[in-house]
Amino acid sequence: MSSNDMNTRDRQTRMGLLARARPARLAALMPALPRHDWLRAPETGAVMVRGRIGATGGAFNLAEMSVTRCALKLDGGAVGHAYVQGRDKDHAARAAVIDALMQGPAAARIEADILAPLRADEENRRHARAEKAAATKVEFFTMVRGED
Amino acid sequence: MYVATKGGERAIDAAHQWLAEERRGSPSVPELSIAQIREQMTLAVNRVMAEGSLYDPDLAALAIKQARGDLIEAIFLIRAYRTTLPRFGASAPVETGGMAITRRISATFKDAPGGQVLGPTFDYTHRLLDFKLMAEGAAQEAARKPADPEPAPHILSLLDRDGLMEPLAATDDTPRDLTREPLELPADRPLRLQALARGDEGFLLSLAYSTQRGYGRTHAFVGELRIGTCAVEMEIPELGFAVEIGEIELTECETVNQFTGSKTEPPQFTRGYGLVMGQSERKAISMSLVDRALRWEELGEENTGAPAQDTEFVLYHADNIQATGFLEHIKLPHYVDFQSELELIRKLRREAAGVQMREAAE
């Protein structure tokens, strides 16, 4: 895999994490935004979510979800994009700023101060759900039948 | 002839003011917040998202508050809102095989890999009112156990492997979209599934129940029912790659149905499919039964004339917003229409009376 592919893969993972982040948590981790120019001001729209017939067959349109997107340019010239779930424009703006900052010298600091805590939050949420689900897993036992 | 009438503006304003007051209820009781509805009336929120056809829990909660708990009115508000949103695109089909599972059960295989996970279910409760909930108190905490990394593949894929299951073709055709073009027949399976996914839960429940009672019987077993969250991924043209734009909760039901075979197909099991936004297993099971019943033609089965086999009947009556719009419009002023009906009846009565008088005179 080329380093370009690796970068794209990392960026995809990061954008997904930011899209799923709780807006209030992201705002607490990053209260102030650096100066930026909008390439596309935040706008809320809908994405048609598709499913597959029988989980693995042909696609069908299930229903829409709300999504907010934006694109911006930092003073240094770095461009950031965001597509985040919901209607929170500040959420989208923060995600785009982080996307742009991760392409420059601030990357390590952003990774440690913002992305790592977001990843930990998500991991905790998933872990808690998986543990509760595991507690409701049925353990069957067979009654011994009388045989004589 | 149409006669425009005016008037009633002041009455309408006052009616809406009163509505707002009634919505709030007694001021001595604390007001509901959107977060409270979202967190504590979750299944109502889920229904409004599924039938409103827009995944946004906060908006669904707001709609429920505004509609005073009338869920069809709330769904109406969501449908109206979603028409104002620009469409950014369509996602890649969600991979329900990779779902983070909350609940997953099978009525056909006890020992399926990944196990039977009950999740937060009403099943096995005694349906007795819990008077403890009348008093405020701390909620019970869920039990926990170390999570099991065992994967939970779709259970029907196990039957698939043995060739006993009707095969599915994973095509990449762009499905028709009834929010972009009028719903026209014949409707292929993707279009039918879209209509069912946003259809009224009560209507689908009754239709599904009718198939169980013999009106288009399909002998369904729940092969698998799973609830959990799935990532939604979309190709972003300006970036040239796909990103996850969020995650949504889904309920999926796959039924296994008897099929004795046809001229071209050997005896095998066939499938019904249900997929619904949020946690809604009644709707997902209903959807999969109705989906299967509607497939009679492609499977070469007999049309018994059952309502659940009639695509036009099902698809044109499943949408509760269309239905309520047409139904409720008859309560709005029809004074002029009715005036002409009144005149017609009077004329017919005069004529009838005239005939009787003539007969009496003869």
Q: Are residues B162 and B70 in the same domain?
A: no
From chain A residues 38-97, the ones with a CB under 8 A of any chain B CB are 43-67, 69, 71, 81, 83-87
Q: How many domains does chain A have?
A: 1
Evaluate whether residue B68 is within a structural domain: yes
Evaluate whether residue A100 is within a structural domain: yes
Evaluate whether residue A123 is within a structural domain: yes
CA distance B142 to B219: 36
Q: What is the pLDDT of residues A114-143, one digit of tens each?
A: 999 999 999 999 999 999 999 999 987 766
Q: Are residues B103 and B224 in the same domain?
A: yes
Evaluate whether residue A59 is within a structural domain: yes
Of B318, B284, B291, nearest to B218 by C-alpha is B291
The minimum CA-CA distance between A127 and chain B, rounded to whole Å, is 7
CA distance A62 to A40: 28
Q: Are residues B355 and B318 in the same domain?
A: no
Q: Are residues B261 and B356 in the same domain?
A: no
CA distance B231 to B234: 10
Q: Is B310 in the A-facing interface, judged by CB distances under 8 Å?
A: no
pLDDT computed for residue B163 by the predictor? 80
Evaluate whether residue B274 is within a structural domain: yes
Evaluate whether residue B233 is within a structural domain: yes
Confidence of residue A1 (pLDDT cuts 50, 70, 90): low
Q: Are residues B106 and B204 in the same domain?
A: yes
Which residue in B has a C-alpha nearest to residue A79's C-alpha? B239
Q: How many domains does chain B have?
A: 3
Evaluate whether residue B298 is within a structural domain: yes
Distances (CA, A) of B67 to B32, B60, B318: 13, 10, 21
Q: What is the pLDDT of residues A74-105, one digit of tens each?
A: 999 999 999 999 999 999 999 999 999 999 99
Q: Are residues B189 and B313 in the same domain?
A: yes
CA distance B255 to B332: 43
Range of the domain at B57: 9-82
pLDDT computed for residue B34 by the predictor? 97
Q: Are residues B177 and B56 in the same domain?
A: no
Residues in A touching B143 (Cβ below 8 Å): 132, 135-136
CB contact under 8 A, B277 and A52: no
Evaluate whether residue B48 is within a structural domain: yes
Which residue in B has a C-alpha nearest to residue A130's C-alpha? B147
Q: With contact defined as beta carbons under 8 Å apart, do B175 and A61 qualify?
A: yes
Range of the domain at A116: 3-135
Evaluate whether residue B186 is within a structural domain: yes
Q: With contact defined as beta carbons under 8 Å apart, do B191 and B316 qualify?
A: no
Evaluate whether residue A145 is within a structural domain: no
Evaluate whether residue B194 is within a structural domain: yes
Q: Are residues B228 and B299 in the same domain?
A: yes
Residues in A touching B93 (Cβ below 8 Å): 50-52, 59
Residues in B touching A52 (Cβ below 8 Å): 93-94, 96, 170
Helix residue ranges per DSSP H, A21-147: 23-29, 89-101, 107-110, 116-135
| Burial class, A11, CB count within 10 angstroms (exposed 0-12 / middle 13-18 / buried 19+) | middle
Q: Are residues B188 and B70 in the same domain?
A: no
From chain A residues 112-131, the ones with a CB under 8 A of any chain B CB are 126-131
Evaluate whether residue B4 is within a structural domain: no
Eight-class DSSP state of B141:
P
Evaluate whether residue A18 is within a structural domain: yes
Q: With contact defined as beta carbons under 8 Å apart, do B2 and B336 qualify?
A: yes
Q: Are residues B75 and B182 in the same domain?
A: no
pLDDT per residue rounded down to tens, chain B (362 residues):
555 667 788 999 999 999 999 999 999 999 999 999 999 999 999 999 999 999 999 999 999 999 999 999 999 999 999 999 999 999 999 999 999 999 999 998 888 888 899 999 999 999 999 888 888 777 789 999 998 778 889 988 887 777 888 888 888 889 999 999 999 999 999 999 999 999 999 999 999 999 999 998 788 999 999 999 999 999 999 999 999 999 999 999 999 998 777 777 788 889 999 999 999 999 999 999 999 999 999 888 889 999 999 999 999 999 999 999 999 988 888 888 888 888 999 999 999 888 888 888 87
Evaluate whether residue A146 is within a structural domain: no
